[in-house]
Amino acid sequence: MKIKTYGLKKLGIINPTAVYHNLSPTDLIERALIRGEGILSDTGALVVTTGKYTGRSPDDKFIVDTPGIHDYISWGKVNKPISKEKFDLIYGKIISYLQNREIFIFDGIAGADPSCRKKFRIVNELASQNLFIHQLLIRPTEDELSNYGKEDFTIIAAPGFKCNPSTDGVNSEAAIIINYEDKKALICGTQYSGEIKKTVFCVMNFLLPQMNILPMHCSANMDPITGATAVFFGLSGTGKTTLSTDSKRLLIGDDEHGWSDHGIFNFEGGCYAKCINLKEKNEPEIYHAIKFGSLVENVIIDPITRKLDFADKTLTENTRVGYPINFITNARMPGIGRIPNVIIFLTADASGVLPPISRLTQEGAMYHFLTGFTSKLAGTERGITEPQPTFSTCFGEPFMPMNPGVYAEMLGEKIAKYNSKVYLVNTGWFGGPYGIGERIKLKYTRAMINAALNGQLDNVEYRHDDILNVDIPQSCPDIPDELMNPIDTWKDEEAYLTYARKLAKQFNENFSQKYPDIGEHIVNAGPKFEE
């Protein structure tokens, strides 16, 4: 019997033992179980472990340096070049590896707005990873699939193939390589599914600015009555998914969006949420999304009861669950919203210096967008065991291939055009740095964000902080006044000022090193450091 290959031959895969195309979640789960890729929890979720790679591996990510895209890429430690010759070498090895194997294909969509979407073909070695991307991207209808046409980009994920660094020109057995000119990407040596999701994001971040669309590493929600829309920027661990998943608002998406001239739209059709210390009372929407059809990564499971232990970080603190967005009862379908009237920058400041909420000017918004300050939290990347200060351009530097000024200018233009209000929210520490101070309670952060979204911070008294160069509201509904100004929460005022000056210096040094050509009006909107 001749096997239908669904166009795999053009990739070089000419003799698969079987090809499965856009299977249902049920079919994929059945095949994953038969293949021994995971087990079911007591709630019906498929639970897998991903081996030694339990987070993204940024040192193993490369972009193929070709003449057609060379001048568009911001080359450096994040966007590392690899030659087309090395790409072709690794590509050939992966294709050879995939011969005589079962292949899983998902033809999906990135972009809820039909006028802005791109079509992605994902080729998987594992049924569980095909389930993941099936739930994370937008699933085409039967009619859309029958009229799918040619994909805009192909991603091949083969975690079982290991690179040889000495001959392949990479840094380890794992590699994530994007070839923008050939419209292909390779992921090998790592089973962490987030690499597939983020590769889609990297591709969209390259393609959309050419369409005058701002790609954003953010979550988004909207008021179900007024339609007022908000976006939340922040790296993993800052609370982006948790804070945007609010039962009183419609969730547009939890991670990746575009901002066009007629509104915002979700790139995805699913969510990828952290599970560490997950509790029903704190995050009921995410908790109840862990059911049949979702994929759970690296959460310890009781072999007898099949209950998940969300507090157990034996494998990693970066435990994850992927699920379709319609598992959230208040999901906005399709994932399209209006022009955002409020923008929230989330940061987890481990120094305990930044206020729990502050207001930014347009220039201040561009500065902090470019800066993307936070603390890397344990588990989000390999080797991170405690919070580390970091500056991630556009709150998503690992995924932004172009010059950061391109994205910042687009944001500034949109804030000015639509008069969007911008707030910087610290979900990190107060009363002292990590190890001395306390992390701000989730209920307080929610209350401050609700006040910002509802306009309750529009007319309150503000105090300008001369070091941090932000405006701090002096009161907020349901928040003790003494929490609003971080200096008031420290026992030692001089110690606070020392840490504040140190943080301002870090901001200054980072900005001058990374963005020497940015205009003075943006530079002057950042923290002020004086010896």
Percent of the chain with pLDDT over 90: 88
- Mean pLDDT throughout 84-103? 98
End-to-end CA distance of the chain: 78
Distance in angstroms (rounded) separating the CA atoms of residues 237 and 358: 20
Confidence bin at 178 (pLDDT 50/70/90): very high
For residue 258, pLDDT beyond 60: yes
Q: Are 69 and 87 in contact (CB under 8 A)?
A: no
Confidence bin at 390 (pLDDT 50/70/90): confident
- Which of 131, 123, 129 lies closest to 104, judged by CA? 123
For residue 133, pLDDT beyond 80: yes
- Mean pLDDT throughout 349-364? 95
User: CA dist 296 to 129, 193, 231, 318, Å?
Assistant: 11, 10, 26, 11
User: For the residues of 258-294, what is the DSSP string, one character each?
Assistant: EEETTEEEES-SEEEEE-TT--TTT-HHHHHH-STT-
Would you mind telling me the total number of residues written for the chain in this entry?
Answer: 531
The count of other CB atoms within 10 Å of the CB of residue 516 is 8
- Domains of the chain, residue spans: 17-37+73-211, 272-327, 339-523
What mean pLDDT, rounded, does the chain reach? 94
Distance in angstroms (rounded) separating the CA atoms of residues 182 and 152: 10
pLDDT of residue 383: 57
**Helix, strand or coil, per DSSP, at residue 522:** helix
Please state the CATH superfamily assignment of the domain spanning residues 272-327 in this structure. Phosphoenolpyruvate Carboxykinase, domain 2 (2.170.8.10)
- For 6, left (φ over 0), alpha (ψ -120 to 50), or beta? left
Confidence bin at 283 (pLDDT 50/70/90): confident
- Those residues with Cβ within 8 angstroms of residue 47's Cβ, 6 or more apart along the chain or in another chain: 38, 39, 40, 41, 296, 299, 301, 308
Confidence bin at 31 (pLDDT 50/70/90): very high
Percent of the chain with pLDDT over 70: 97
**Helix, strand or coil, per DSSP, at residue 232:** strand
Q: Are 142 and 171 in contact (CB under 8 A)?
A: no
Residue type, 242: T
Range name among 121-125, 421-425, 502-506 with the lowest pLDDT average: 502-506
Q: What is the CATH number of domain 17-37+73-211?
A: 3.40.449.10
Which residues are annotated as catalytic? 56, 198, 217, 236, 240-241, 255, 320
Q: Do domains 17-37+73-211 and 339-523 have the same CATH topology?
A: no
Distance in angstroms (rounded) separating the CA atoms of residues 110 and 69: 22
- pLDDT tens for 40-56 read 999 999 999 999 999 99
pLDDT of residue 235: 77
The whole-model pTM stands at 0.90
Distance in angstroms (rounded) separating the CA atoms of residues 427 and 92: 46
The count of other CB atoms within 10 Å of the CB of residue 248 is 10
Tokens 């929407």, residue located: 285
Q: Are 184 and 215 in contact (CB under 8 A)?
A: no
- pLDDT tens for 304-341 read 999 999 999 999 999 999 999 999 999 999 999 999 99
CATH 3.90.228.20 describes domain 339-523: yes
Q: Counting runs of H as helices and runs of E as strands, what totals does the chain give? A: 13, 30
- Those residues with Cβ within 8 angstroms of residue 61's Cβ, 6 or more apart along the chain or in another chain: 78, 80, 176, 177, 178, 398
